[in-house]
């Protein structure tokens, strides 16, 4: 069991309520969690269980109603907008279900968006090479397939060598074969850069590639499972 | 709320509420167009109707026939002429007025009225006081505005030199007259209530003073319906020729009416030109916004169609949105137009002396404004709405592929290595949507063009004043005599107190004829090297008057259709009435009126007279002015005095009040257009690229960096729009100058650099204001929501 000191994230009593009065929706209900550094964590759970809210809070995109989140002993929950922007800029890589690439920039330039403002980045070519797109550097998003677009997004997320890589349904919009390629890219980044990676999915079979699997339900962590053995993505099927 | 509405209509209202800022910006632009149209068309109709009613009710003469002295008995002959419904005689003379407290003598006109009040031609509107008492021949009625300008009240006195005799006159009332709606002194261009006065006097008293017992010097005629005015004028001219008639003329040649017609013409041009431009910009904005809404609602449109809604129904849904915005704009515009119209009517009452002027916009004005606006709005959005109707449901519901930026031009790409990613994004986005970028640029340019077109007239008129007063007419004082005098009079003037230089002139009335074209003009004779009243060519270089032949102003040459070297048939209508053909020896530049010039000696030879002059231009020692004025007040031979400085002041004041007010309104309108265009473009960019911008924020770009991408594009488009706007403004101004070209005025096309600068500044400020409004929204971007939704 990892100690709090070796945790990337240290979460206590995290609660998030959207709306007021009758319309209030409780997305997170007092979560306590430690995410060990360098692990690949899969967050499982049905829609509305609070996965994305948790991820957004960890990524500095959203702030909780109460509770505390520490990242490397720094309290994220005490940050203002400026510090959160800096936190995202320096430490966090995001991958989304719908890629969110900039259509007017090529694959290389999309990655450069991040490397231009990061302290110790990979070169865009290196990052794209890692996700297997070394030959498609100068293609615009419109000229890439869905899987390729998602891999550009991963390259963009890992190029700054982030401490944390947060992926929200990265394979949600992809077929199996493409999904596996994308997962391999994420796993490669996790291993090569020792990036703490949190991956949200609906798809329970993907959990097999994780170090640790958190199952969420109704705003709480219902179950934590540690995989003795991690499966290679190529051996997955769904 | 809205329970009774169909869900689609509820959606419509909610959509409208959601885009209220943009809808309001569009409605404002429509409102400006409609408002301007309602104001100018309403004012035009109000002026025309008021003029008609006023002339009708106070029997403004159709034909005016001046002469020197006509026996009263001839009136019966005139009355009997074919086409004459009614004819009356009167005495009308020019006289110098001396008002207590006014330093300079005032040019005045005295007009006779019957001893007992009755309905006459060119009747007066008695505004205060009473009509004449036959026992008191010194009573006068004074033009209301003149009395007010000098603070004269009923019972006060003023002095006038009547036929060489100084007389004390008593004011018993103030009046308005249809022939002095625009009360302007001879040779002036703008009314100056202090410098030109009109007084009405008992006929018997005035006739006595001027030795016109049982005689008159002006006949006023109302012609019978359908009568031919031109043949009547020719008959009158033949009849009155022995009595010193300079030629009869129609109402359209009467000075006050001419100025009024000029104003009406300008309103017509404004009403025709500006509102359509506003409405076109509004149509373009609507198109931009509706296209965007349709893009964001592709999925919903597909869904509705999949449910079985017909394309026509879906199309109508979006058309309704357009019509709602347009209707709101029209309504706002009508209120604005009525409000501005009322304000304008008050302003007009200052310059046009009507007994009443009620701003009224009749139903047809509203009808035209509504129909035209709706049609333009429908036309503007037709392509977008048709696109909705043609959208295939299956395709509509699938997410659109990312826009393809791969076909970028080489020059952008070759420059790309020098640029950071955000700058690349800006350039590629502009290049990817050239039409949209071009339309935005054009919209901004149009607002700048409108600004220039609506404010350049101040430059032009200032230039015109400068040229007229400082280059052409360089005298301080002009003096004209009751009757032409010999050279001795000039000698006397040269020795009057304070006179440093005096140059003579002679003016004779004549009819100029070329082919079938006839014009009543004055031929002005000037000495060869005149320096106080000069002739200049188009480059403002002095033109030496040739020893023979006629020099015509450009406008007169155009009206007579003659060029240098052509012969003009001249019939002088005074003195010995010589007739002859004279060659056009030069054409000169003038901005005001129409004029013909000759060498003074040549003119006198033509008249078969010795050195005779009608008056003189003087340069005066400013310290001695008071003495000169005193001397002139007591010179019986002087009929009128023009003071350049006062005339220029009056002009400037009128300019500030009328043009200044218009310019202010137009600036407001144009600024609103600029804001409408820039704000809408920015909002649309924001909603189109919100996802992109949110992604960048997530990646760690700061608000400032993200705003740069959005506002950088607008800044670039605004900068591109500036030269285009300057060009559009120049073209519009040129068109307006052309439309305002009348016999009375020619406005030169002068646009000062400052005007371009001012227009650019307003556009830039409008852009900055819109940018700040949108920037606030960038700050409020919901990062999570934007990333969760599919494009």
Please tell me the least confidently modeled range out of A181-190, B180-189, B254-263, B387-396: B387-396
Asked whether the predicted pLDDT for residue A84 surpasses 70, the reply is yes
B residues 680-739 closer than 8 Å to A (CB): 691-692, 694-703
pLDDT over 60 (residue A3): no
Question: Element (H or E) spanning B305, and its range?
Answer: helix B298-307
Q: Does the pLDDT at position B86 exceed 80?
A: yes
For A16-35, what is the mean pLDDT?
90
Judging contacts by C-beta atoms under 8 Å, the chain B residues touching residue A52 are 784, 788
What is the structure's pLDDT at A15? 95
pLDDT number for residue B520 = 87
Q: Please state, for a pLDDT cut of 70, what percent of chain A lies above it.
A: 98
To test the contact with chain B by mutation, choose from A103, A119, A121 the residue with the greatest count of B C-beta atoms within 10 A, namely A103
Classified as helix, coil or strand, B491 is helix
All residues of chain B having their beta carbon less than 8 Å from the beta carbon of residue A59 are 698
Task: Tell me which chain B residue has its CA closest to the CA of residue A141.
Answer: B402
A109 touches B at CB < 8 Å = yes
Segment B375-387 shows an average pLDDT of 84
Quote the pLDDT of residue A237. Answer: 79
Section B673-691 average pLDDT = 80
- HEC readout, B11-49: HHHHHHHHCHHHHHHHHHHHHHHHHHHHHHHHHHHHHHH
Nearest partner of B122 among B253, B246, B221, judged by Cα: B221
Q: What pLDDT was estimated at residue A2?
A: 39
CB contact under 8 A, B421 and A116: yes
pLDDT class for A58, splitting at 50, 70, 90?
very high
Asked if B405 and A103 come within 8 Å (Cβ–Cβ), the reply is yes
Q: How far apart are the first and last CA of chain A?
A: 31
Q: Lay out the sheet containing A7-18: strands in order across.
A: A25-36, A7-18, A66-71, A74-75
Question: Which residue among B425, B784, B790 places its CB closest to the CB of A104?
Answer: B425
| Reported confidence tier of residue B130, pLDDT bands at 50, 70, 90 | very high
pLDDT at B791: 46
Query: Is B700's CB within 8 Å of A92's CB?
Result: yes
Cβ contact, residue pair B405, A140, below 8 Å: yes
CA distance B57 to B208: 30
Count residue pairs from A and B with Cβ separation < 8 A: 90
pLDDT above 90: residue B442: no
Segment B168-178 mean pLDDT: 95
Q: Which residues contact B89 (CB under 8 A, 6 or more apart)?
A: B70, B72, B75, B216, B218, B219, B220
B385 CA to chain A: closest CA distance, Å?
27
C-alpha closest to that of A16 among A37, A3, A31, A35: A31
Q: Where are the alpha helices (DSSP H) in B84-202?
A: 144-149
- Residue A101 to residue B402, Cβ atoms within 8 A: yes
Interface test with A, best of B698, B702, B791 (most A CBs within 10 A): B698
Which of residues 409 through 438 in chain B touch A, CB cutoff 8 A? Answer: 420-421, 424-425, 428-429, 432
Least confident of A192-206, B390-404, B465-479: B390-404
Mean pLDDT of B697-711: 85
Question: With bands split at pLDDT 50, 70 and 90, how would you rate the model's confidence at A1?
Answer: very low
Q: Is some CB atom of chain B closer than 8 A to the CB atom of A16?
A: no
User: A79 — contact with chain B (CB < 8 Å)?
Assistant: no
Range with the lowest mean pLDDT among A195-209, B132-146, B436-450?
Answer: B436-450
Predicted local distance difference test score (pLDDT) of residue B436: 80
Q: For residue B194, what pLDDT is reported?
A: 87
Cα–Cα nearest to A165, from A174, A154, A173: A154
Residue B755 has pLDDT above 70, yes or no: yes
Interstrand relation of B550-553 and B612-620 (parallel, antiparallel or unpaired):
unpaired
Mean pLDDT computed over B315-329: 90
- For the cut 80, the answer to whether the pLDDT of residue A34 exceeds it is yes
Q: What is the pLDDT of residue B401?
A: 67
**DSSP output for chain A:** ---GGGEEEEEEEEEEEESSGGG-EEEEEEEEEEEETT-EEEEE--TTSSHHHHHHHHTTSS--SEEEEEETTEEGGG--HHHHHHHHHHHEEEE-TT----TTS-HHHHHHHHHTT-SSPPPHHHHHHHTT-TT-TT--GGGS-HHHHHHHHHHHHHTT--SEEEEESTTTTS-HHHHHHHHHHHHHHHHHH--EEEEE-S-GGGGGG-SEEEEEETTEEEEEEE-SSPPPGGG---
| Distance (Å, whole) CA A220 – CA A211 | 20
Q: What is the pLDDT, as a whole number, of residue B295?
A: 75
- Please tell me which of B59-68, B260-269, B272-281 the model is most confident about, judged by mean pLDDT: B59-68
Indicate whether B150 pLDDT > 90: yes
- Given a cut of 80, whether residue B337 has pLDDT beyond it is yes
In the predicted structure, residue B53 carries a pLDDT above the cut 50: yes
Q: What whole-number percentage of chain B has pLDDT above 70? A: 96
Residue A210: is its pLDDT beyond 90?
Answer: yes
For range B492-510, the mean pLDDT:
92
Residue B706 · residue B691 · CB < 8 Å:
no
Average pLDDT over residues B647-673: 78
Q: Which long-range contacts (CB under 8 A, 24 or more apart) does B737-742 make?
A: B737/B460, B739/B269, B739/B273, B740/B265, B740/B266, B740/B269, B741/B555, B742/B262, B742/B265
pLDDT digits (tens, 9 = 90+) for B725-738: 999 999 989 988 88
Over residues A178-195, the mean pLDDT reads 89
Give the count of alpha carbons within 13 A of B153, CB side only.
0
pLDDT confidence band for A130 (50 / 70 / 90): confident
Phi, psi dihedrals of residue B132, rounded to the nearest 5°: -65, 150
Interior angle at CA B370, CA B367 and CA B375, nearest 5: 120
Which position has the higher pLDDT, A41 or B742? A41
Please tell me the predicted confidence (pLDDT) of residue B790. 55
For B779, the closest chain A residue by CA position comes to: A81
Question: Are A89 and B699 inside 8 Å of each other by CB?
Answer: yes
Report which of B339, B321, B413, B354 is spatially closest to residue B16, judged by C-alpha positions: B321
Mean of all residue pLDDT scores within chain B:
86
Residue A5: predicted pLDDT: 57
Q: How much is the average pLDDT of B383-389?
A: 82
- Residue with the bigger pLDDT between B296 and A197: it is A197
Residue of B344, B374, B312, B314 whose CA lies nearest to B42: B344
Distance CA(B330)–CA(B33), nearest Å, equals 9
Q: For B178-207, write each residue's pLDDT tens digit.
A: 999 988 887 777 788 888 999 999 999 999
pLDDT for position A113: 82
Contact between A224 and A212 (Cβ < 8 Å): yes
B318 pLDDT tier (thresholds 50, 70, 90): confident
B179 SS3 class: helix
């Amino acid at each position: 069991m990892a100690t709090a000191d070796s945790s990337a994230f240290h979460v206590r009593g995290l609660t998030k309520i959207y709306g007021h009065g009758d319309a209030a929706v409780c997305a997170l209900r007092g979560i306590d969690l430690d995410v060990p550094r360098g692990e690949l964590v899969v967050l499982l759970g049905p829609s509305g269980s609070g996965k994305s809210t948790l991820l957004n809070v960890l990524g500095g995109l959203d702030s909780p109603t109460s509770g505390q989140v520490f990242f490397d002993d720094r309290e994220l929950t005490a940050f203002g907008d400026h510090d959160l922007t800096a936190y995202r800029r320096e430490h966090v890589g995001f991958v989304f279900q719908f890629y969110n690439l900039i259509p007017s920039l090529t694959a290389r330039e999309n990655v450069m968006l991040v490397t231009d403002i990061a302290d110790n980045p990979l070169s865009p070519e290196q990052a794209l090479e890692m996700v297997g797109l070394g030959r498609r550097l100068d293609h615009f998003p419109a000229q890439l397939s869905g899987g390729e677009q998602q891999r550009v997004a991963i390259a963009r997320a890992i190029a700054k060598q982030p401490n944390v890589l947060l992926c929200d349904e990265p394979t949600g919009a992809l077929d199996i074969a493409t999904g596996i390629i994308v997962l391999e890219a994420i796993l490669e980044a996790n291993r090569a850069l020792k990036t703490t990676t949190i991956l949200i999915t609906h798809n329970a079979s993907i959990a097999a590639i994780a170090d640790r699997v958190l199952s969420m339900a109704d705003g709480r962590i219902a179950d934590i499972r540690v995989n003795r053995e991690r499966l290679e993505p190529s051996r997955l099927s769904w | 709320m809205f329970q009774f509405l169909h869900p689609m209509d509820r959606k419509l209202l909610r959509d409208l509420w959601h885009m209220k800022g943009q809808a309001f910006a569009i409605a404002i632009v429509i409102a400006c167009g409609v408002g301007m149209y309602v104001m100018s068309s309403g004012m035009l109709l109000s002026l025309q109707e008021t003029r008609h009613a006023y002339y009708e009710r106070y029997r403004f003469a159709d034909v005016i026939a001046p002469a020197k002295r006509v026996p009263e008995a001839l009136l019966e002959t005139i009355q009997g002429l074919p086409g004459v419904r009614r004819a009356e005689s009167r005495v009308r003379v020019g006289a110098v007025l001396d008002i207590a407290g006014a330093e300079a003598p005032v040019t005045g006109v005295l007009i006779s009225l019957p001893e007992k009040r009755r309905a006459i031609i060119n009747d007066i509107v008695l505004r205060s006081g009473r009509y004449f008492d036959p026992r008191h021949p010194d009573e006068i009625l004074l033009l209301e505005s003149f009395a007010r300008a000098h603070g004269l009240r009923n019972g006060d006195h003023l002095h006038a030199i009547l036929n060489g005799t100084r007389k004390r006159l008593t004011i018993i009332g103030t009046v308005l007259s249809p022939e002095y709606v625009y009360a302007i002194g001879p040779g002036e261009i703008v009314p100056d209530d202090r410098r030109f006065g009109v007084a009405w006097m008992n006929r018997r008293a005035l006739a006595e003073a001027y030795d016109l017992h049982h005689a008159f010097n002006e006949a006023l005629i109302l012609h019978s319906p359908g009568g031919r005015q031109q043949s009547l004028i020719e008959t009158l001219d033949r009849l009155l020729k022995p009595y010193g008639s300079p030629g009869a003329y129609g109402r359209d040649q009467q000075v006050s009416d001419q100025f009024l017609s000029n104003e009406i013409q300008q309103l017509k041009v404004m009403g025709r030109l500006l509102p359509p431009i506003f409405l076109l910009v509004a149509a373009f904005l609507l198109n931009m916004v509706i296209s965007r809404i349709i893009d964001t609602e592709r999925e919903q449109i597909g869904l509705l169609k999949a449910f079985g809604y017909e394309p026509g129904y879906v199309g109508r849904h979006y058309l309704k949105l357009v019509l709602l915005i347009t209707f709101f704009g029209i309504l706002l515009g009508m209120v604005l137009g009525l409000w501005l119209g009322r304000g304008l009517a008050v302003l007009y009452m200052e310059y046009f002396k009507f007994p009443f002027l009620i701003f009224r916009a009749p139903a047809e004005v509203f009808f035209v404004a509504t129909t035209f606006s709706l049609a333009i709005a429908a036309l503007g959005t037709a392509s977008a709405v048709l696109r909705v109707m043609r959208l295939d449901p299956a395709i509509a519901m699938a997410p659109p592929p990312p826009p393809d930026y791969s076909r970028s031009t080489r020059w952008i790409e070759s420059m790309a290595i020098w640029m950071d990613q955000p700058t690349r994004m800006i350039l590629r986005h502009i290049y990817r949507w050239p039409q949209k970028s071009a339309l935005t640029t054009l919209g901004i340019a149009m607002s700048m063009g409108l600004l220039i077109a609506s404010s350049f007239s101040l430059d032009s008129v200032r230039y015109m004043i400068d040229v007229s007063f400082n280059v052409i007419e360089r005298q301080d004082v002009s003096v004209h005599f009751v009757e032409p005098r010999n050279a001795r009079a000039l000698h006397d003037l040269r020795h009057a107190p304070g006179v440093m230089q005096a140059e003579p002139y002679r003016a004779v009335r004549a009819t100029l004829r070329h082919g079938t074209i006839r014009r009543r003009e004055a031929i002005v004779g000037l000495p060869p090297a005149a320096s106080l009243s000069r002739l200049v060519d188009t480059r403002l270089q002095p033109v030496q008057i040739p020893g023979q032949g006629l020099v015509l102003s450009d406008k007169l040459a155009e009206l007579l259709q003659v060029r240098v070297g052509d012969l003009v048939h001249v019939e002088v209508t005074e003195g010995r009435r010589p007739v002859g053909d004279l060659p056009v020896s030069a054409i000169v530049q003038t901005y005001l009126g129409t004029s013909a010039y000759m060498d003074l000696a040549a003119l006198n030879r033509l008249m078969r007279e010795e050195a005779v002059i009608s008056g003189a231009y003087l340069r005066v020692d400013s310290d001695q002015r008071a003495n000169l004025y005193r001397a002139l007040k007591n010179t019986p031979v002087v009929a009128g005095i023009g003071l350049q400085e006062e005339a220029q002041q009056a002009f400037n004041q009128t300019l500030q009040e009328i043009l200044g007010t218009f310019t202010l309104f137009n600036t407001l309108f144009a600024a609103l257009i600029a804001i409408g265009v820039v704000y809408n473009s920015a909002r649309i960019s924001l909603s189109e690229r919100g996802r992109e911008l949110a992604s960048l924020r997530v990646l760690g770009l700061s608000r400032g960096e993200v705003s740069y991408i959005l506002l950088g594009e607008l800044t670039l488009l605004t900068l591109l729009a500036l030269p285009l706007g300057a060009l559009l403004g120049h073209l519009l101004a040129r068109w307006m100058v052309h439309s305002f070209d009348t016999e009375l005025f020619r406005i030169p096309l002068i646009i000062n650099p400052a005007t371009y600068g001012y227009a650019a500044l307003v556009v830039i400020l409008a852009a900055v204001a819109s940018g700040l409004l949108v920037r606030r929204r960038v700050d409020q971007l919901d990062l999570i929501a934007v990333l969760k939704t599919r494009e």
